[in-house]
A and B are shown apart, each in its own frame.
Chain A
Amino acid sequence: MNMSNQPELPGEILLDEIVAARAPWTAIVRRGQTLRIVDLEGNQAVDFLMYSLDDDAERYSLQDTIAAQGNLFLRTGTVLRSNEGRPMATLTGTSVAYHDTIGGACSCESNTLRYGHHTKAQHACVENFLQGNARYGRGKRDMAPNINWFMNVPVEADGALGIVDGISAPGLYVDLRAEMDLVMVVSNCPQINNPCNGFNPTPVRMIVAA
């Protein structure tokens, strides 16, 4: 793989895994550690939730994050905040201009609204989140508005918004530094009805370093 466009990660590599297309992934990432997500084949949405390891009722909040930075888009320097307003992680670097946090996660149920009832049986990110969280004893109450790394959701002047063609490419990355001990839960998005995965879900790479 070409990693020449990625800066060197600090310290020791603690974990280096490939998440298969359409699969969930979970990890505990401790304060001070950095997670790098690599979009291996380009324009692969990586749906992302995180919880405080000590108190999982504290979790990522798009509204606290947006209000605190005064902007919808996640860029280098963005502080990802919890529902208690505390910094959970910092976006320390990315080779993509911006990432989405307003588009939510695809679900079997919302797919029926967006595309029709013929899509109800298709695999979806909420299914991955539920499965990923279940191993920690969490359930549907733990669903929260998520981040979509490598996904593009512009908002036009009249409020028109939507998931449109991506601005990522093979080998582009995003780095997150944990500001507290975290449980991260990822869905490598299986959506095939819109351009969030270029209509072709692909694997992504997860590297944790410290």
Chain B
Amino acid sequence: MSEHNTADPKSARAHARSMGGTRVEAMPTVPAMDAAIRPDGVPAEAMLWDETIAAGGYAAKRLNRGARLRLVDTKGDACLSMLVFNAERPIERLNIADTIKVQWNAYLGEGRLLLSDMGKVMMSITQDTSGRHDVFCGASNAASNAARYGDGDNWGQHPNARDRFLLACAKFGLGRKDIHACVNWFKGVTVLTDGATRFDGGAAANVAVTLRAEMDVIVMLANCSHVLDPRPDYPVTTAHVSAWRGAVTPTDDPIRNATPEGLRAFLNVEEDLRR
């Protein structure tokens, strides 16, 4: 005999409805304008997204050009792996190799751009208080998590980032072939002179990255332990994400004009959207 009174449809409905309004740590605020804490200066009506992503959790969101996306490592051990697609044509996606090659640098930070595989800027990094990010080591997978934690399944206690992306992609009609090389936010990897990768871990609690969408994008985030993290117990903590409406980048924007390569990446977006 269940402790719940769910023996008939009306009782089951009453039982289900009694759960409404429950608060847990990892959940979205709907509507986002009701978020307990808003970024400085952002009016409630501009809020588009407010969600806490569990350790091992994932989330995805379509954002319009100009929207701002803030990622917060609330407890100091988040690891947000991110995929980015052009929302209008998801066949265009983040290209890590072009991102570092075109900008002549291996590290992401304030002022840098995320570039697509079609010679366009997808997002700009407008703020970064972490300084510990990684473009080289990518998403954990079922095999790597099984080797380290005993399992890596979406239905278990140690989900892997690749299989989180698989679910996020499926919900946008995308599949395994659409999971591209990702960015890992909040876990640093330094390249040494012989090419070796050194895992630097996270920076601190409450560090944040703010991005500006430079085209309509779909962003997918998986919050799973970093594949190089040597600690044994699935070391990852919750992350908070929020997004709000913002102005499309003006032509005198300092990030847009910072380098000749970056400026051409903006010009290519602007040309594509001139209709």
Contacts and interface: CB of A to CB of B under 8 A. Distances in A.
B263 to A, nearest CB: 9
Contact of B102 (A66, A70, A114, A140): A114
B98 A71 contact: no
A61 B138 contact: yes
B195 A107 contact: no
A93 interface: no
B233 interface: no
B101 interface: yes
Interface string A61-77: 11110110011110000
B115 A67 contact: no
B194 interface: yes
Contacts of B176: 57
A134 B262 CA distance: 31
B245 to A, nearest CB: 28
B97 A114 contact: no
Interface string A105-149: 101111111101100000000100000000000001111111000
Given A70-B196, A113-B119, A84 B106 contact: no
A63 B144 contact: no
Contact of A161 (B106, B142, B177): B106
A67 B261 contact: no
Question: Which bucket holds chain A's interface residue count?
Answer: 35 or more
**Which residue of A71, A111, A158, A160 has the most chain B CB atoms within 10 A of its CB atom?**
A71
A110 B197 CA distance: 26
A85 interface: yes
Given A113-B264, A113-B268, A102 B197 contact: no
Interface string A85-111: 110000000000010001111011111
A66 B175 CA distance: 24
Interface in A40-72: 56-57, 61-64, 66-67, 70-72
Interface in B229-249: none
Contact of A113 (B137, B182, B193, B261): B261
Given A63-B137, A84-B141, A160 B105 contact: yes
Interface string B158-190: 000010000000000001111111100000000
B197 A71 contact: yes
Interface residues of B, number: 47
B71 to A, nearest CB: 19
Contacts of A109: 117-120, 268
B248 to A, nearest CB: 20
B228 A67 contact: yes
B230 to A, nearest CB: 11
A145 B99 CA distance: 12
Given A61-B138, A63-B138, A86 B143 contact: yes
B32 interface: no
Contact of A110 (B119, B182, B195): B119
Contacts of B115: 110, 113
Contacts of A145: 95-97, 181
B60 interface: no
B265 to A, nearest CB: 5
Nearest to B262: A113
A143 B197 contact: no
Nearest to A65: B138
Interface string B84-103: 00000001000111101110
Given A56-B177, A63-B137, 20 more contacts: A57-B177, A62-B97, A63-B181, A66-B138, A67-B138, A72-B196, A84-B142, A104-B98, A109-B118, A109-B268, A110-B98, A112-B268, A113-B115, A113-B262, A113-B268, A114-B102, A141-B177, A144-B180, A155-B191, A161-B106
Interface of A: 56-57, 61-64, 66-67, 70-73, 83-86, 98, 102-105, 107-114, 116-117, 126, 140-146, 153, 155, 157-163
9 contacts: A66-B136, A67-B136, A73-B194, A107-B117, A110-B117, A111-B119, A145-B181, A159-B105, A159-B106
